[in-house]
């Protein structure tokens, strides 16, 4: 009887753990819109997987016109490693990068987990969202825990062609977020003058075949130094396939 009871408990526990997992592929635009709507238009964290006690927490941040499932290779690896995984859902169509609410969201999470370390895996524009978030937390004096920031295919130097888009009406789709991608934007000036504390480790990953930006420019490499980051370049990787290359490293 004792053995049977123990087996029942183990099966029930395994079942409950299984419900903690959300298939990364299901984290599409539709599910993101639902999550943001429930959060009254603000950015919010979607619980993807609950890891064991003391495990690292990983937050995945997608880029413009993207969706959380874009980071599926990294999410899957984090799940297999036993980490707690969350995807950041936000309005990347009508809100500016500064309005994404990631800083508030992380601050609330840290209030509940004051000693926990955090890893942020951010792709493309999501990297600029993440950098801005850490800048806000640093200015408030709340960026005290260890953070690993992985910037994947992130246009650190901005995108020159986005400068013209800043002249268009801001009520049009994509204009407000693209404003923060421009090389002449306030977001760009923030990155160029940012000084992150020593408890933040920055890794920058870029593909040699990225058609969105060039990692080989003098300005780009200077900004990697500003962030005290380490640049990793993948031969033949594109803007999207760089995600798979980073996943292979883990």
Q: Does residue 15 register a pLDDT over 80?
A: no
Band of the pLDDT at 246, cuts 50, 70, 90? very high
Mean pLDDT of 149-170: 93
In the predicted structure, residue 111 carries a pLDDT above the cut 70: yes
Residue 20's pLDDT is 53
Condensed to tens digits (0 to 9), the pLDDT of residues 190-200 reads 999 999 999 99
Give the predicted TM-score (pTM) of the model: 0.90
Domains detected in the chain: 29-249 (3.40.50.1820)
pLDDT reported for residue 209: 98
pLDDT single digits (tens) 200-214 = 999 999 999 999 999
Q: Which pLDDT score, from 0 to 100, does residue 119 have?
A: 98
pLDDT for position 205: 98
| C-alpha distance across the termini of the chain, in Å | 43
Mean pLDDT across 13-39: 75
pLDDT tier, 22 (very low <50, low <70, confident <90, very high otherwise): confident
**Residues 161-176 pLDDT 10s:** 999 888 889 889 889 9
């Amino acid at each position: 009887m004792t053995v049977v009871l123990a087996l029942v408990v183990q099966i029930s526990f395994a079942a409950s753990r299984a419900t903690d997992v959300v298939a990364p592929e299901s984290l599409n635009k539709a599910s993101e819109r639902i999550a943001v709507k429930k959060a009254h238009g603000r950015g919010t964290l979607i619980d993807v997987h609950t890891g064991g006690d003391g495990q690292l927490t990983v937050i995945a941040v997608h880029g413009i016109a993207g969706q959380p499932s874009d980071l599926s290779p990294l999410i899957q690896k984090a799940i297999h490693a036993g980490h707690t995984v969350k995807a950041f859902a936000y309005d990347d169509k009508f809100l500016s990068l500064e309005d994404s609410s990631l800083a508030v969201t992380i601050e609330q999470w840290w209030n509940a987990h004051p000693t926990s370390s955090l890893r942020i895996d951010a792709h493309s524009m999501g990297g600029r969202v993440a950098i801005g978030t850490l800048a806000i937390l640093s200015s408030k004096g709340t960026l005290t825990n260890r953070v690993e920031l992985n910037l994947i295919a992130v246009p650190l130097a901005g995108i020159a062609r986005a400068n013209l888009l800043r002249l268009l009406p801001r009520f049009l789709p994509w204009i407000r977020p693209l404003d923060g991608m421009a090389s002449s934007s306030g977001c760009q000036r923030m990155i160029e003058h940012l000084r992150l504390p020593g408890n933040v480790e920055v890794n920058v990953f870029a593909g040699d075949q990225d058609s969105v930006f060039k990692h080989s420019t003098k300005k780009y490499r200077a900004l990697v130094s500003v962030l005290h980051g380490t640049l990793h370049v993948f031969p033949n990787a594109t803007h999207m396939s760089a995600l798979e290359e980073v996943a292979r490293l883990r």
